[in-house]
């Protein structure tokens, strides 16, 4: 069981070597949901005067991550904007690490305001484009 | 190179002639002295914040340091405090930043005056120092 953030990692497959590369100095990541399950309702399946609702398919959702700016990493990730990549989030703290891999497109990659007395952060948003594995 | 923010600060103050000469080189971390006499400067670490990252991070944190300036007169203590501010975070030029020493930025926070039990005047300057160990 892991209830603190330390020990989680987010990586993106850069493509060139078909290898996942960790994103360093992440301060926050919103783990992606596998997809929101849609629901449909039918009055034809009326059972006892109640509209029946049934599950349909999942709709992928966006997820975000925040890291401390450094030039090399910012440029590397920025080059992925708009391109479909494989992303992987891992909780390495259990004896058997929990991992989820999913396709996604970096749709937004924004440097946060530069303050005199603070570390510059960058927020990335990834639109998940398919099923997680 | 420096292993701690207070060690880097002591080294910086010792390297600043306007400060070091005024105290005849008596610039210490609090761990190095309990009674330095006067004039003297003692750098105390008050705490740190930030630096938490998912992968443990690279050690960059904002340390709060108090620089106590001891002198026999109030005027001398104030002058010493002003010299320390000029060395670390002057108001009219860039503040102390030395990446080779692990110092990424320095910000002056506060200034207070006091007097010790044995009558020595005290001027305390407080700084925020962004430091990453280099050793």
> For residue range A104-131, what is the model confidence (pLDDT) as tens digits?
999 999 999 998 888 999 999 999 998 8
Domain range for B17 is 5-49+60-131
- How is the beta sheet containing A62-68 ordered, strand by strand? A20-22, A8-13, A84-91, A98-111, A121-128, A62-68, A26-29
Burial (CB count <10 Å: 0-12, 13-18, 19+), residue B5: buried
Which of B57, B107, B128 lies nearest to residue A25, judging by beta carbons? B57
Dihedral angle, C-alpha B82, B107, B91, A70, nearest 10 °:
150
CA distance A7 to chain B (A): 6
Residue A115 contacts B where some CB pair is shorter than 8 Å: no
* In-domain check, residue B37: yes
**How many beta carbons lie within 10 A of that of residue B67, not counting itself?**
26
Q: Which of B55, B58, B103 to mutate to test the interface with A (most CBs of A within 10 A)?
A: B55
Q: What is the DSSP letter of B123?
A: E
Q: Considering its fold, how many domains does chain A have in total?
A: 1
Burial (CB count <10 Å: 0-12, 13-18, 19+), residue A80: buried
Domain range for A20 is 8-39+51-128
* In-domain check, residue B114: yes
Q: Considering its fold, how many domains does chain B have in total?
A: 1
pLDDT (tens, 9 = 90+) of chain A, 133 residues, equals 556 777 888 999 976 666 899 998 899 999 888 788 999 987 776 667 788 888 999 888 899 999 999 999 999 999 999 999 999 999 877 778 889 999 999 999 999 999 888 899 999 999 999 888 8
Is A56:A40 a contact under the CB 8 Å cutoff?
yes
Is A102:A131 a contact under the CB 8 Å cutoff?
yes
Task: Give the whole-angstrom CA distance, residue B49 versus residue B129.
Answer: 11
| ipTM summary value | 0.74
Predicted local confidence at residue A41, as pLDDT: 87
Task: Give the whole-angstrom CA distance, residue A84 versus residue A127.
Answer: 9
A5 contacts in chain B (CB < 8 Å): 52, 54
pLDDT (tens, 9 = 90+) of chain B, 135 residues, equals 678 999 999 999 999 999 999 999 999 998 777 666 789 999 999 998 887 888 776 688 999 999 999 999 999 999 999 999 999 999 888 899 999 999 999 999 999 999 888 888 999 999 999 999 886
């Amino acid at each position: 069981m892991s209830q603190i953030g330390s020990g989680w990692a987010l990586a993106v497959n850069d493509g060139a070597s078909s290898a996942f590369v960790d994103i360093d100095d992440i301060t926050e990541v919103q783990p992606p949901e596998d997809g929101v399950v849609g629901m449909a309702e039918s009055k034809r399946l009326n059972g006892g005067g109640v509209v029946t609702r049934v599950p349909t398919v999942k709709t992928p959702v966006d997820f975000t991550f925040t890291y401390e700016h450094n030039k090399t990493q910012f440029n590397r990730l920025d080059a992925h904007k708009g391109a479909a990549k494989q992303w992987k989030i891992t909780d390495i703290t259990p004896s058997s690490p929990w991992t989820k891999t999913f396709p996604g497109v970096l749709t937004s990659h924004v440097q946060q305001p530069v303050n005199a007395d603070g570390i510059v952060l960058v927020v990335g948003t990834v639109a998940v484009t398919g099923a997680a594995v | 190179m420096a292993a701690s923010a207070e060690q880097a600060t002591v080294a910086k103050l010792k390297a600043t002639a306007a400060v070091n000469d005024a105290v005849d080189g008596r610039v210490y971390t609090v761990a190095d002295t309990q009674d330095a006499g006067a004039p003297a400067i003692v750098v105390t670490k008050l705490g740190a914040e930030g630096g938490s990252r998912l992968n443990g991070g690279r050690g960059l944190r904002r340390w709060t340091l108090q620089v106590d300036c001891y002198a026999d007169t109030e005027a001398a203590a104030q002058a010493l405090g002003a010299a320390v501010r000029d060395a670390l975070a002057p108001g009219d030029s860039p503040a102390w930043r030395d990446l080779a020493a692990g110092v990424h930025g320095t910000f002056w926070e506060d200034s207070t005056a006091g007097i010790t039990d044995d009558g020595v005047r005290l001027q305390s300057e407080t700084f925020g120092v962004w430091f990453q160990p280099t050793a």
